[in-house]
A and B are shown apart, each in its own frame.
Chain A
Amino acid sequence: MGEPSRRGFLKGLGAAALAAGGAGTLSACGGSSSTGGAVTGGTGEPSGSITVWSWKNPAAELRALIPAFNAVHPKVKVTVQDIGNPAIWDKITIGMEAGGQGLGDLLHIGVDYLPNYIEKFPNGLADLSKLGAGQYSNAFAPGLWQTVSRGEKVYALPWEANAGSFFYRDDLFRKAGVDPATLATWDDVIAAGKKVKDATGTALVAIDKSASAADSANLFQLLMQLQGVFYFNTDGKITLNSPEAVRALTLVKELNDAGLVVDVQGSPGTSTYDAAVKAGKVAVCPDPAWYGGYMETFATDSSGDWRVMLPPAVTAGGSRSAIVNSTHLAVAGTSQNQRAAFAFAEFALTRPESQVQIFKDKGIFPALLKAYDDPVFHQPDPFFGGQKYAEVFIAELSNPSTPTNYTADYPRALKLIDDAQTKVLLQGADPAAVLKDAAGQLAQQTHRAQA
């Protein structure tokens, strides 16, 4: 998902942030305007110009939808901008802090940022329930509506739903004489990983040990979610040092101690991680569903060698389903054309044809349940050796998975977890000790209680 396109932007930002005493430079101009109340953009047929902010592949897909959209809504002029990920988060944040100045009309927002924007900028995003979003409350994979709404208010429409997955190299497993179907728990995975390493010399997974990317603890997070816990519980209390968390980080440590981890600087979607996958340095990618479609575009040499299955459980008989992340389209509270912006979001996200098209092109996995009826989700895929790989995720997404409460303090929690994991992987620290430490620091920084 990420791409290192933020640098040009940061050149300016860095200078501004570092001007003496300039901590508030960028926030100085705003904070008071409020347009969250009324719907803008007139009544009747939507019209006007809207700007859509997204990144790379999703941006290209939204752009491709414009002609079809204009056939229905000829009076709306849509411009899609590829802001880049992660640059888009800084840009949205600054726009929000400036009272909504300069924001695009329609914003593509990841689940790791959405709660933060909703809770900290109450009027930053338009309430879509006023535009009729309520009718879609059951249209998406279970759990996602809770992510985008607060009570009656709806802040975004779900787009991607990324189930946690277990992409594996069937050829390497076979060479090592391991049948992946027998991997029921992560203990089994570690045992199998040792066999694969002995037989093929290939490590199991790639992890950004020094946490140069913010989402370096993906595997740890998946292992927590498989146990039904997250960094916060549903009451917003800190669960970073729960027994489940300790178990998850201990598994990561065991993988590392067994020599099954390749150190890469970056997470799925960055050039270093992808290069390790392409070069056949890992046998497993325990990554979000979107990575499957993405792999097809670059790991062409290993086409046919990959398969996917549900991630093994952490404890025997435990859950094998988790929605590890999702992305959404939200309308800016300051947009002058909220009706037109919502109309485009509605066209892209609630219309099965649009989502089917997007999945066909780039493998971006939709949250829209109706889309799954299309044959494209039930076709054998040559990259996955003829496996109907999308069906694995449909089954997973149709299960109710535990709702995850990201809260506005997710970025802090993520940073502390990154550092804790780095201490474990680079210095051999004790998982329980570093998690206790991280939970304590998070409580101190956020004034949240520990569960």
Chain B
Amino acid sequence: MTARTTRAGSRLAPYLFVLPALVLFAAFRLYPIGWSFVLSLFHTEGMEQSWTGLGNYQRLVHDPLFWKALGNTLEILVIQVPVMLAIALGLAVALNSALLRWKPLFRLGFFLPVVTGLVTYGLLMGALLNPDSGAVNWLLHVLGLPEVHWLTDPFWAKVSVMLALTWHYTGYNAVIYLARLQGIPDEHYEAAAVDGAGAWRRFWHITLPGLRPALLLTVVLSTIGTLQLFDEPFIMTGGGPDNATTTIGVYLYQTGFRYFDFGYASAIGYAMVLIISVFGLIQTRLAKEED
């Protein structure tokens, strides 16, 4: 064997190693992504397909339910995500505090909801928010407050979904912040303390800047996650009442798997991709400009 072929062989080796992953990626990711774009150009119902070009996208623009779903999704994005991230930030700082004892216990407690299975989660939320026998209404009753129709009133259904999301994902974000917090050198705090900076100023000038990459990460991840939101509204309210909690994800599911209109569902999917890309771009741009 000459030196030349050996080199060629060794150059090929990494490609051979990634080949299985690439093949799987192409088969289960690229192909469906490409095929669903093709589908979005057809009017497909069941096995019948007819070319419609951009017809599905035109239909989307004139579809009141799509706009309603988009509005619902954005409402959750604008209200729930900032609240959740603020709580996560507070939790992370508290959990990182030298004053707190039994830290692992608290960390476990806040992270548990993240790993809770969907079935348990749905049952739990349903049981807690049940208007007749739920613990939340019982608590309201004990406090002398009127009972709330959590899942059956359009306004409160939206609130319920946001509460569930917050319960589910706050711990996840807190853990990301916590990891980052532990990377901020103690000397910075010590130096600031020596200079006479109070707790609030230390948080504002050391903790927050130190957390920037983690903040950006969680904002982008939460934005993508919220725009794709499906599980919570689907399980808790089925998108109701009267579409108050229908998100784009839920609408996509209904269109594809209830109405068998896969072409239109694909168009909804691509609209979702477009919206997510735009949001992602804006957020990374904003983050860069501040640098």
Question: In the complex, what distance in Å separates the CA atom of A19 from the CA atom of B272?
Answer: 11
The answer to whether B260 touches A24, judged by C-beta atoms less than 8 angstroms apart, is no
Residues facing A in B22-50 (CB within 8 A) are 29, 31-33, 35-40, 44-49
User: Count of A-B contacts with CB under 8 A?
Assistant: 164
Residue numbers in A under 8 Å from B131 (CB-CB): 263
The answer to whether A28 touches B119, judged by C-beta atoms less than 8 angstroms apart, is no
The answer to whether A17 touches B259, judged by C-beta atoms less than 8 angstroms apart, is no
Residue numbers in B under 8 Å from A68 (CB-CB): none
The answer to whether A17 touches B119, judged by C-beta atoms less than 8 angstroms apart, is no
Q: Mark B39-64, 1 if CB is under 8 A from A, else 0.
A: 11000111111000000000000001
Residue numbers in B under 8 Å from A212 (CB-CB): 151-152, 237-238, 240-241
The answer to whether B119 touches A210, judged by C-beta atoms less than 8 angstroms apart, is no
Question: In the complex, what distance in Å separates the CA atom of A272 from the CA atom of B153?
Answer: 17
The answer to whether A209 touches B152, judged by C-beta atoms less than 8 angstroms apart, is yes
The 7 closest A-B pairs by CB, nearest first: A120-B46, A24-B36, A23-B269, A210-B241, A210-B152, A23-B266, A25-B32
The answer to whether B270 touches A411, judged by C-beta atoms less than 8 angstroms apart, is no
Given contacts A27-B262, A265-B152, contact A21 B238 (CB under 8 A): no
Contact residues on B (Cβ < 8 Å of other chain), bracket: 35 or more
Contact of B4 with A by CB under 8 A? no
* CB closest chain-A residue, reference B269: A23
The answer to whether B35 touches A24, judged by C-beta atoms less than 8 angstroms apart, is yes
Question: In the complex, what distance in Å separates the CA atom of A90 from the CA atom of B272?
Answer: 23
The answer to whether A97 touches B241, judged by C-beta atoms less than 8 angstroms apart, is no
Contact of A93 with B by CB under 8 A? yes
Q: Mark B133-158, 1 if CB is under 8 A from A, else 0.
A: 00000000000000001011110010
Question: In the complex, what distance in Å separates the CA atom of A409 from the CA atom of B255?
Answer: 11
* CB closest chain-A residue, reference B33: A21
Question: In the complex, what distance in Å separates the CA atom of A17 from the CA atom of B266?
Answer: 10
The answer to whether B241 touches A426, judged by C-beta atoms less than 8 angstroms apart, is yes
Contact of B234 with A by CB under 8 A? yes
Nearest chain B CB to A36's CB is how many angstroms away?
Answer: 11
Contact of A18 with B by CB under 8 A? yes
Residues facing B in A6-24 (CB within 8 A) are 7-8, 10-11, 13-14, 17-24
The answer to whether A423 touches B47, judged by C-beta atoms less than 8 angstroms apart, is no
The answer to whether A8 touches B36, judged by C-beta atoms less than 8 angstroms apart, is no
Nearest chain B CB to A174's CB is how many angstroms away?
Answer: 27
Residues facing B in A387-430 (CB within 8 A) are 408-409, 411-412, 415, 418-419, 422-423, 426-427
